[in-house]
Amino acid sequence: MDVDAYLARIGAGRPTAPTPAALRELHEAHLLTVPFENLSVHLPERIVLDEDALFDKVVRRRRGGFCYELNGLFAALLRELGFSVTLLGARVFGGGRWGPPFDHLALRVDLEEPWLADVGFGRFARHPLRLTACEPQTDPEGEFLVVDAPDGDIEVRLNGEPAYRLEKRPRQLSDFGPTCWWQATSPESHFTQNVLSTISTPSGRVTLAGDKLIETVDGKRAERELSDAEKVEAYRVHFGIDMNEAPVLGSFPAPGLRPFPN
Protein backbone atom coordinates (compact mmCIF):
# COMPACT_ATOMS: atom_id res chain seq x y z
CA MET A 1 0.00 0.00 0.00
CA ASP A 2 1.11 3.55 -0.76
CA VAL A 3 0.61 4.79 2.79
CA ASP A 4 1.69 8.33 1.98
CA ALA A 5 -0.92 8.59 -0.78
CA TYR A 6 -3.63 7.32 1.57
CA LEU A 7 -2.61 9.79 4.28
CA ALA A 8 -2.59 12.60 1.73
CA ARG A 9 -6.09 11.55 0.63
CA ILE A 10 -7.44 12.03 4.17
CA GLY A 11 -5.21 14.98 5.03
CA ALA A 12 -3.45 13.26 7.93
CA GLY A 13 0.18 13.08 8.96
CA ARG A 14 2.04 9.82 9.48
CA PRO A 15 1.90 8.93 13.19
CA THR A 16 5.18 8.21 14.96
CA ALA A 17 3.59 5.34 16.91
CA PRO A 18 0.28 3.46 17.10
CA THR A 19 -1.37 5.32 19.97
CA PRO A 20 -4.95 6.21 20.92
CA ALA A 21 -4.26 9.83 19.94
CA ALA A 22 -2.98 8.75 16.52
CA LEU A 23 -6.01 6.49 15.99
CA ARG A 24 -8.33 9.34 16.93
CA GLU A 25 -6.66 11.72 14.47
CA LEU A 26 -6.76 9.21 11.59
CA HIS A 27 -10.37 8.26 12.35
CA GLU A 28 -11.64 11.84 12.35
CA ALA A 29 -9.60 12.79 9.28
CA HIS A 30 -11.11 9.86 7.37
CA LEU A 31 -14.68 10.79 8.26
CA LEU A 32 -14.14 14.43 7.23
CA THR A 33 -12.72 13.58 3.79
CA VAL A 34 -14.08 10.23 2.56
CA PRO A 35 -17.85 10.03 2.07
CA PHE A 36 -20.11 7.13 2.90
CA GLU A 37 -21.81 6.50 -0.45
CA ASN A 38 -23.53 3.76 -2.44
CA LEU A 39 -23.09 5.26 -5.90
CA SER A 40 -21.45 2.11 -7.27
CA VAL A 41 -24.76 0.28 -6.86
CA HIS A 42 -26.50 2.74 -9.17
CA LEU A 43 -23.83 3.81 -11.68
CA PRO A 44 -23.52 0.71 -11.81
CA GLU A 45 -20.01 -0.53 -10.95
CA ARG A 46 -18.66 -3.81 -9.63
CA ILE A 47 -17.87 -3.72 -5.91
CA VAL A 48 -14.66 -5.62 -5.31
CA LEU A 49 -13.66 -6.49 -1.75
CA ASP A 50 -9.94 -6.54 -2.43
CA GLU A 51 -7.49 -4.13 -0.82
CA ASP A 52 -5.86 -3.11 -4.12
CA ALA A 53 -9.23 -2.46 -5.76
CA LEU A 54 -10.46 -0.52 -2.73
CA PHE A 55 -7.29 1.57 -2.64
CA ASP A 56 -7.76 2.42 -6.32
CA LYS A 57 -11.36 3.47 -5.73
CA VAL A 58 -10.99 5.46 -2.50
CA VAL A 59 -7.49 6.89 -2.85
CA ARG A 60 -6.68 7.12 -6.56
CA ARG A 61 -10.21 7.83 -7.83
CA ARG A 62 -11.14 9.80 -4.69
CA ARG A 63 -14.43 8.02 -4.14
CA GLY A 64 -16.14 6.76 -1.01
CA GLY A 65 -18.03 3.54 -0.39
CA PHE A 66 -20.04 1.68 2.19
CA CYS A 67 -18.92 -0.21 5.31
CA TYR A 68 -17.20 -3.21 3.71
CA GLU A 69 -15.14 -0.92 1.50
CA LEU A 70 -14.32 1.92 3.89
CA ASN A 71 -13.62 -0.09 7.02
CA GLY A 72 -11.93 -2.83 5.01
CA LEU A 73 -9.46 -0.35 3.54
CA PHE A 74 -9.03 1.64 6.75
CA ALA A 75 -8.06 -1.60 8.52
CA ALA A 76 -5.31 -2.12 5.94
CA LEU A 77 -4.00 1.41 6.51
CA LEU A 78 -3.96 0.96 10.27
CA ARG A 79 -2.05 -2.30 9.98
CA GLU A 80 0.55 -0.66 7.74
CA LEU A 81 1.00 1.95 10.49
CA GLY A 82 1.57 -0.67 13.17
CA PHE A 83 -1.90 -1.00 14.70
CA SER A 84 -3.36 -4.36 15.68
CA VAL A 85 -6.74 -4.55 13.92
CA THR A 86 -9.50 -7.17 13.91
CA LEU A 87 -12.46 -7.16 11.52
CA LEU A 88 -15.79 -7.75 13.27
CA GLY A 89 -19.20 -8.56 11.86
CA ALA A 90 -22.25 -6.73 13.13
CA ARG A 91 -26.03 -6.80 12.87
CA VAL A 92 -27.59 -3.38 12.34
CA PHE A 93 -30.75 -2.37 14.21
CA GLY A 94 -33.42 -0.79 12.04
CA GLY A 95 -37.15 -0.91 11.56
CA GLY A 96 -37.59 -2.35 15.04
CA ARG A 97 -35.48 -5.44 14.41
CA TRP A 98 -31.93 -6.71 14.05
CA GLY A 99 -30.51 -7.26 10.59
CA PRO A 100 -28.68 -10.40 9.43
CA PRO A 101 -25.12 -11.40 10.38
CA PHE A 102 -22.43 -9.59 8.34
CA ASP A 103 -24.89 -6.73 7.85
CA HIS A 104 -22.05 -4.39 8.84
CA LEU A 105 -18.26 -4.45 9.16
CA ALA A 106 -16.55 -2.62 12.04
CA LEU A 107 -13.04 -2.67 13.50
CA ARG A 108 -11.53 -3.58 16.84
CA VAL A 109 -8.18 -1.87 17.40
CA ASP A 110 -6.13 -3.23 20.31
CA LEU A 111 -3.83 -0.79 22.08
CA GLU A 112 -3.50 -0.67 25.86
CA GLU A 113 -7.24 -1.31 25.76
CA PRO A 114 -9.55 -2.29 22.88
CA TRP A 115 -11.16 0.44 20.76
CA LEU A 116 -14.04 0.41 18.27
CA ALA A 117 -13.18 2.19 15.03
CA ASP A 118 -15.83 2.69 12.37
CA VAL A 119 -15.49 5.01 9.36
CA GLY A 120 -18.17 3.23 7.32
CA PHE A 121 -21.57 3.62 9.01
CA GLY A 122 -22.75 7.00 7.80
CA ARG A 123 -23.62 8.97 10.91
CA PHE A 124 -21.69 7.40 13.77
CA ALA A 125 -19.00 8.30 16.29
CA ARG A 126 -16.55 10.94 15.09
CA HIS A 127 -13.92 9.44 17.39
CA PRO A 128 -13.08 5.81 18.26
CA LEU A 129 -15.02 4.35 21.19
CA ARG A 130 -13.62 2.45 24.16
CA LEU A 131 -14.96 -1.08 23.87
CA THR A 132 -14.66 -1.88 27.57
CA ALA A 133 -16.07 1.37 28.95
CA CYS A 134 -19.15 1.03 31.13
CA GLU A 135 -20.04 4.72 31.17
CA PRO A 136 -21.58 6.78 28.32
CA GLN A 137 -19.05 8.24 25.88
CA THR A 138 -19.67 11.77 24.62
CA ASP A 139 -18.87 12.42 20.97
CA PRO A 140 -19.63 15.27 18.53
CA GLU A 141 -22.23 12.97 16.95
CA GLY A 142 -24.01 12.16 20.23
CA GLU A 143 -23.76 10.02 23.33
CA PHE A 144 -22.61 6.43 22.83
CA LEU A 145 -22.90 3.48 25.16
CA VAL A 146 -21.22 0.09 24.76
CA VAL A 147 -22.94 -2.73 26.66
CA ASP A 148 -22.85 -6.52 26.85
CA ALA A 149 -25.45 -8.31 24.75
CA PRO A 150 -26.76 -11.90 24.56
CA ASP A 151 -24.52 -14.67 23.21
CA GLY A 152 -21.37 -12.76 24.12
CA ASP A 153 -22.02 -9.94 21.63
CA ILE A 154 -21.46 -6.22 22.20
CA GLU A 155 -24.27 -3.73 21.63
CA VAL A 156 -23.49 -0.15 20.64
CA ARG A 157 -26.14 2.49 21.33
CA LEU A 158 -26.41 6.06 20.09
CA ASN A 159 -28.44 8.48 22.21
CA GLY A 160 -30.09 5.55 23.96
CA GLU A 161 -31.13 3.73 20.77
CA PRO A 162 -29.46 0.54 19.45
CA ALA A 163 -27.13 1.13 16.50
CA TYR A 164 -25.65 -2.31 15.95
CA ARG A 165 -24.57 -5.50 17.71
CA LEU A 166 -20.99 -6.71 17.27
CA GLU A 167 -19.82 -10.30 17.25
CA LYS A 168 -16.44 -10.88 18.89
CA ARG A 169 -15.20 -13.53 16.44
CA PRO A 170 -12.39 -12.27 14.15
CA ARG A 171 -13.29 -12.16 10.46
CA GLN A 172 -11.55 -11.82 7.10
CA LEU A 173 -12.64 -9.28 4.48
CA SER A 174 -13.70 -12.11 2.16
CA ASP A 175 -16.21 -13.31 4.79
CA PHE A 176 -18.34 -10.27 3.97
CA GLY A 177 -18.48 -11.02 0.22
CA PRO A 178 -21.87 -12.75 0.05
CA THR A 179 -23.64 -10.10 2.16
CA CYS A 180 -21.93 -7.32 0.20
CA TRP A 181 -23.28 -8.87 -3.00
CA TRP A 182 -26.79 -9.02 -1.48
CA GLN A 183 -26.58 -5.41 -0.29
CA ALA A 184 -25.55 -4.26 -3.77
CA THR A 185 -28.04 -6.31 -5.81
CA SER A 186 -31.15 -7.30 -3.85
CA PRO A 187 -34.32 -5.24 -4.36
CA GLU A 188 -34.86 -5.68 -0.61
CA SER A 189 -31.58 -3.96 0.28
CA HIS A 190 -31.88 -0.32 1.36
CA PHE A 191 -28.76 0.38 -0.74
CA THR A 192 -30.63 -0.49 -3.94
CA GLN A 193 -33.68 1.50 -2.85
CA ASN A 194 -31.85 4.79 -2.31
CA VAL A 195 -28.98 6.79 -3.82
CA LEU A 196 -27.00 8.22 -0.92
CA SER A 197 -23.84 10.15 -0.21
CA THR A 198 -23.06 11.64 3.20
CA ILE A 199 -20.02 13.12 4.91
CA SER A 200 -19.15 14.69 8.25
CA THR A 201 -18.08 18.32 8.35
CA PRO A 202 -16.37 20.21 11.18
CA SER A 203 -19.73 21.80 12.08
CA GLY A 204 -22.19 19.06 11.11
CA ARG A 205 -22.98 16.92 8.08
CA VAL A 206 -23.87 17.11 4.38
CA THR A 207 -26.08 14.46 2.79
CA LEU A 208 -27.34 14.03 -0.76
CA ALA A 209 -30.20 11.52 -0.65
CA GLY A 210 -31.86 11.08 -4.02
CA ASP A 211 -32.75 14.61 -5.15
CA LYS A 212 -32.48 16.18 -1.67
CA LEU A 213 -29.43 18.01 -0.39
CA ILE A 214 -29.48 18.16 3.41
CA GLU A 215 -27.00 20.39 5.23
CA THR A 216 -26.73 20.48 9.01
CA VAL A 217 -24.60 23.27 10.52
CA ASP A 218 -24.32 23.65 14.30
CA GLY A 219 -27.55 21.70 14.75
CA LYS A 220 -29.55 23.71 12.19
CA ARG A 221 -30.87 21.68 9.25
CA ALA A 222 -31.56 23.01 5.75
CA GLU A 223 -33.00 20.92 2.92
CA ARG A 224 -33.63 21.58 -0.77
CA GLU A 225 -34.28 19.63 -3.95
CA LEU A 226 -31.70 19.61 -6.75
CA SER A 227 -31.91 19.19 -10.49
CA ASP A 228 -29.71 16.57 -12.18
CA ALA A 229 -27.15 19.22 -13.12
CA GLU A 230 -27.14 20.56 -9.55
CA LYS A 231 -26.62 17.04 -8.19
CA VAL A 232 -23.52 16.57 -10.34
CA GLU A 233 -22.14 19.85 -8.97
CA ALA A 234 -23.09 18.89 -5.40
CA TYR A 235 -21.19 15.60 -5.68
CA ARG A 236 -18.12 17.56 -6.75
CA VAL A 237 -18.34 20.40 -4.22
CA HIS A 238 -19.44 18.51 -1.11
CA PHE A 239 -18.03 15.03 -1.65
CA GLY A 240 -15.11 15.53 -4.04
CA ILE A 241 -16.62 13.14 -6.57
CA ASP A 242 -16.38 14.10 -10.25
CA MET A 243 -18.93 12.54 -12.61
CA ASN A 244 -20.58 13.43 -15.90
CA GLU A 245 -24.10 12.59 -14.78
CA ALA A 246 -25.84 11.73 -11.54
CA PRO A 247 -26.54 8.06 -10.72
CA VAL A 248 -30.05 6.87 -11.53
CA LEU A 249 -32.09 4.95 -8.96
CA GLY A 250 -32.97 1.44 -10.10
CA SER A 251 -30.14 0.89 -12.61
CA PHE A 252 -29.00 -2.27 -10.80
CA PRO A 253 -27.78 -4.93 -10.98
CA ALA A 254 -24.94 -4.50 -13.42
CA PRO A 255 -24.27 -7.49 -15.66
CA GLY A 256 -21.79 -9.72 -13.86
CA LEU A 257 -21.79 -7.54 -10.75
CA ARG A 258 -19.79 -9.38 -8.10
CA PRO A 259 -18.30 -8.39 -4.75
CA PHE A 260 -15.07 -10.27 -5.46
CA PRO A 261 -12.65 -10.63 -8.39
CA ASN A 262 -13.44 -13.02 -11.25
Q: Assess whether 67 carries a catalytic annotation.
A: yes
Q: How many CA atoms lie within 13 A of 170 on its CB side?
A: 6
Of 27, 30, 42, 104, which one is the catalytic site residue?
104
Of 27, 30, 42, 67, which one is the catalytic site residue?
67
Q: Assess whether 104 carries a catalytic annotation.
A: yes
Of 42, 103, 118, 127, which one is the catalytic site residue?
118
Q: Assess whether 127 carries a catalytic annotation.
A: no
Catalytic residues: 67, 104, 118
